[in-house]
Amino acid sequence: MNERQLQILRELGELGSVTATAEALLMTPSAISQQLRLLQRSIPVPLTERDGRRLVLTDAGQALARAAIEVETALARARHTIEEFVDRPDADVSVAAFHSAAAAFFPLLLAQAGPGRPQISLADEDVAQDQFPRLTRDYDLVLAHRLGQAPPWPTTVTASTLLREPLDIALPADHPLAAERRLTPQDVADQPWITVDDGFPLMATVDAIATAANRRLDIVHRINDFAVAAEVVAAGGGLALMPRWTARPHPAVILRPLSGVSTRRHIDVLHRPERAARRAVRMVLTELHRAAATIRSRDVGGRTTAPDH
């Protein structure tokens, strides 16, 4: 028993013939008869009977046809409810982001809040790169990062790039290398290093620096939070890779571009394809791209002294 079969039974009861029912529903008479046979198989008593050349409803068929009206009414209400949910501009939208993206994007998203706007709930999720797609089960939108040369995200999620952000070398303002406008892997390979944990995207760039310099880096600290890493850099604990636009500036830390290796990460927004059917989710996606343009255009305030090419 399905909605279409109940609709056919209802129309047959009202119109009085298979031919008229077929015309009303834009079906062939044989298709109407086939659906009625399928419906009859699920019902233990006859639903129709012959009255001369006409096929009419039995008492049981009339009772089921009346119930069909209630079914169609309930389904119409359900469709209307879904349509309202999908089209609501002020519906709830959940957004997750890794730490530095959260610090850069979340305030800009909240600045757009107000009547008639999506109701955004925010969460920080700093996970290894291969874990980001799984977060789309729990959140409408997920801000994730990967290096430019990394494989694309799996086809199970929809991804669009918000930023292609340069990664610079962070060092104390009084460090001897601070006098250089641009650094090379050979310049930084003999320094102590502060890196992220293994499995996080920046480690591939750290490994590339070691390969380009033909030596193993001296990794003395593992810190995933850029704000904490900046404090350790400022205290003389070592050099670190730092994103140019999304990491919060530190007064005692400067950034220098690095030549010789690819030093750019993608900040992407991931979501399951069906999430974008909702108007509120599409609105937040638009706001994220606007926020990315704002972040990209910010004055870096002298943290770097050479353009990144």
Same domain, 72 and 130: no
**Claim: this prediction has a pTM higher than 0.85:** no
pLDDT averages per 10-residue partition of the chain, 309 residues = 88 87 91 91 89 86 88 80 80 94 95 89 91 94 89 92 95 94 94 89 88 93 92 96 92 94 92 91 95 82 45
Distance CA 272, CA 158 (A): 6
Looking at the fold, whether 235 and 191 belong to one and the same domain comes out as: yes
For residue 171, tell me if it sits in a domain.
Answer: yes
* Domain region containing 37: 3-87
Total Cβ atoms within 10 A of residue 149: 11
| 218-222/192-195 β-pairing | parallel
pLDDT value of residue 303: 52
* Count of C-beta atoms within a 10 Å radius of residue 140: 23
Q: Say yes or no: 49 and 105 in one domain.
A: no
CA 12 to chain CA centroid, Å, is 47
User: Is 37 a member of any domain?
Assistant: yes
| Residues 139 and 281 occupy one common structural domain | yes
Give the per-residue pLDDT at 63: 92
Q: Which CATH number is 52's domain given?
A: 1.10.10.10
Our count of domains for the chain comes to 2
pLDDT at position 304 is 53
Q: Are residues 14 and 111 in the same domain?
A: no
Q: Are 128 and 109 in contact (CB under 8 A)?
A: no
- Same domain? 220 vs 125: yes
Q: What is the pLDDT of residue 308?
A: 45
pLDDT at 197: 86
- The torsion region of residue 52 among left (phi > 0), alpha (psi -120 to 50) and beta comes to left
> Are both 66 and 99 inside the same structural domain?
no
**Inter-CA distances, 35 with 6, 10, 22, 139, 254, Å:** 9, 13, 11, 41, 74
Q: Quick one: pLDDT at residue 210?
A: 93
Same structural domain, 109 and 80: no
Task: Report how far Cα 21 is from the mean position of its chain's Cα atoms.
Answer: 46
- Does the residue 22 lie in any domain? yes
**Do residues 106 and 253 share a domain?**
yes
Do 68 and 5 form a contact (C-beta atoms < 8 A)? no
165 and 136, same structural domain? yes
Q: Do the domain assignments include residue 56?
A: yes
How far CA 122 is from CA of 40, 64, 165, 275, 277, in Å, comes to 52, 49, 22, 16, 20
- Residue 164 and residue 268: Cα distance in Å, rounded? 9
Q: Is residue 43 part of a domain?
A: yes
Which CB contacts under 8 angstroms, 24+ apart, belong to 47-53? 47/9, 48/12
- CATH number at 189 reads 3.40.190.290
CA distances from 97 to 140, 181, 227 (A): 11, 32, 16
Task: Kindly state whether residues 204 and 111 are assigned to the same domain.
Answer: yes
Same domain membership, residue 184 and residue 158: yes
- Report the Cα–Cα distance between both ends of the chain, in Å, rounded: 65
